[in-house]
Each structure stands twice: as structure tokens, then as C-alpha cells.
Amino acid sequence: MLRNFKVLTPSSLNEVLYVISHIDQPYRFLCGGTDVLVRMKDNPAYAKVLVDISKIRELAKIEEHKSTYVIGSGAKHDAVLAYAPFVEKYNGLVEAVAAIGSPQIRSIGTLGGNIGNASPAGDSIAPLMAFDAEVELRSHESNRIVKLEDFFIGPGKSVMKSNEIITKIILPKFDGLRSGWKRLGQRRAVTISKVSAALAINCVKHPNGSIRVADVKIALGAVAPTVIRARKTEKFLLETPNLNAAAVKQACEIACRESRPITDIRSNTEYRSEMCGVLLGDLIDRLVFGR
């Protein structure tokens, strides 16, 4: 049973910002609770105060703007999966979010929680990072936008300050990108990824049959202290005159070398590194060659 903590129940975002800038003891946000309560059952010292943000309605919205989609940090995984424009155009994000936890976890867990935890294995992060997503961090005094790629600084660590909250995830609109996500885990459901990869790609086929990569974004999960963009692999693919089997193989090898995985209870360095290439190859096969 849980014990030894208190709760704060602010009723608006302004109240949230006020309490987190004045609170004088370690606190954690509570929205879905799928991570924070599990951690507190393991370690009662994890937080002395929980700030309940589950009823702040403006944090749960998903909205379309001119050149972006704005996802409230308190939007549940199920809400992301039910949002038609994502299902239509952000397949990589939908595939990843649909693989998080179980139906029970997805009905209460939130996208902001998945990001705020800053786990290198957080499944929604790789596709969001591949799509150049940004997060809005707000405090009582300030408001800043940080690229998701610059948000994480290590396992469980981010640039978010103790008086800040993630309010929004900002997802740019794209034309022509096809995207996908794939992971390897111990089981098919209720599993933490050993390694995951997100790919968004736009290819142009020339009349002579050669394929040029017009745009490509790759993010790799659980193979470095944070989710990472595979910038060298992206650069190689963009400069490749023809995306044939040999070029795909080479790109996958570069992705393996870009990863910096560790050995832990879920997998080991060698396997994770090699699987980066395998997952990327599978995604290219599916999204570019329809295999």
C-alpha cells in the first residue's frame, strides 16, 4: 500500500504554476499515475508530495493549428490513438503509442508523462523526436519551447526545472512523409522496449528506376542514454544517389554505429546495436519498398 505523502489539488494551470514555484519539498506530478505510483510503491521516498494535474482540462486537449498539431501534455495515449489526423498522417506515432503498456495503461497514461519520465525506452519519444516535435515548458515566471532532441540529458533526466511543467507537445505538419515505428521487446504487450526505431521518409522515384531520398528522419530508442536522432544515417541516406539494397545495408550499418547502447536486465550492448540496423532495414523495406 502507498503511504507517507500528501497531495496538492490545484484546479487551474495558473494554480499549478503557482504551487510548483512555491513548494518547498520534493514533488512529482500525478496525471495518469501509471509510472509515478509504480515508482512510489517501490520506493516510498520517491515523492513526498504529488501535484494532481489530472483535472486541468487545457492540458488534455489536442488541437490543429496552421502549421502544427498541439498535444496537451495530459492527453491520454488513447486520445492520441483516436485523433484522426494522427491515424492518417503520423503512422509512426500511432504505432508506437498503440504499443505502450496495455489497454489499461493507455486509457489513463499520458504523452506528457511518457516524455517527462525521460526514459531512453519511452516508446512515444522516438517517433515524436523523428517528427521534430518540441515541448512547451512553463513556469510561473516564464515560458519556453525546447526541441525534444534537446530536452533529454540522460536516463530520467531532462532540462526541465523543478518549477516547470510540460504543457504542450508541438508536432510540425509535413507533406509527403511516410512513417513507421518498430520495437523489440520480451513480449508483445506490457513490455519495455529493448530497442526501438522510428522512421519518417519521403522518396522520389526517377524514370530510370533509381530512388532518391528527398527527406528522412530517424530516431532510435533504448540504445543510448536518451532517445537519439540518427543524424549520420539520415545524412548518408539524403546523399545516396540511389537507394538500392547495398545503400540500405550501408545505412543500417551506420545506424548500428550511431547507437551507444548499454547492457542491462533487458538486453545487451551487442544485440541492441545490431538490432538498430535490423529495425531500420525492416522499416525502410516496409515504407519505401512496400515489403
Partner 1 sequence: MPNKNFNSENLELKDTLEINFTLNSVKRSVKVPCTYTLLDILRYELKFTGTKEGCGMGECGACTVIMDGGVTPACLVLATTLEGRDIWTIEGISAKDDAKPIIDAFVARTATQCGFCTPGMVVASYHLLSKYVSPTDDQILEALSGNLCRCTGYVKIIEAVKAAARDLNTVKKEGRDA
Task: State yes or no: residue 70 binds partner 1 (CB under 8 A).
Answer: no
Task: State yes or no: residue 45 binds partner 1 (CB under 8 A).
Answer: no
Q: DSSP strand E in the chain: where? A: 6-8, 27-30, 49-52, 62-64, 68-72, 134-138, 143-147, 152-154, 157-158, 165-172, 178-184, 195-205, 211-221, 228-229
Task: State yes or no: residue 57 binds partner 1 (CB under 8 A).
Answer: no
Q: Which of 62, 117, 57, 65 is nearest to 93 (CA)?
A: 62
Task: State yes or no: residue 13 binds partner 1 (CB under 8 A).
Answer: no
Is residue 76 helix, strand or coil? strand
In this chain, which of 34, 158, 167, 226 binds partner 1, going by CB under 8 A?
34
Decide: residue 139, CB within 10 A, 0-12 exposed, 13-18 middle, 19+ buried. Answer: middle
In this chain, which of 68, 70, 78, 81 binds partner 1, going by CB under 8 A?
78
Task: State yes or no: residue 235 binds partner 1 (CB under 8 A).
Answer: no
Task: State yes or no: residue 278 binds partner 1 (CB under 8 A).
Answer: no
Is residue 2 helix, strand or coil? coil
Q: Measure the CA–CA gap between 199 and 162, rounded to whole angstroms.
A: 33
* Greatest extent of the chain over all pairs of C-alpha atoms, in Å: 69
In this chain, which of 13, 19, 262, 278 binds partner 1, going by CB under 8 A?
19
In this chain, which of 61, 64, 104, 176 binds partner 1, going by CB under 8 A?
104
Closest distance of CB 8 from partner 1, Å = 6
Closest distance of CB 222 from partner 1, Å = 19
Task: State yes or no: residue 9 binds partner 1 (CB under 8 A).
Answer: yes
Task: State yes or no: residue 190 binds partner 1 (CB under 8 A).
Answer: yes
Looking at 32-40, 153-161, 227-235, 263-271, which segment touches partner 1 (CB under 8 A)? 32-40
Would the CA dihedral through 99, 105, 110, 116 be positive or negative? Answer: negative
Q: Which residues are near partner 1 by CB under 8 A?
A: 1-12, 14-15, 18-19, 22-23, 30-34, 37-38, 41, 49-50, 52, 54-55, 78, 101-105, 107-108, 188-190
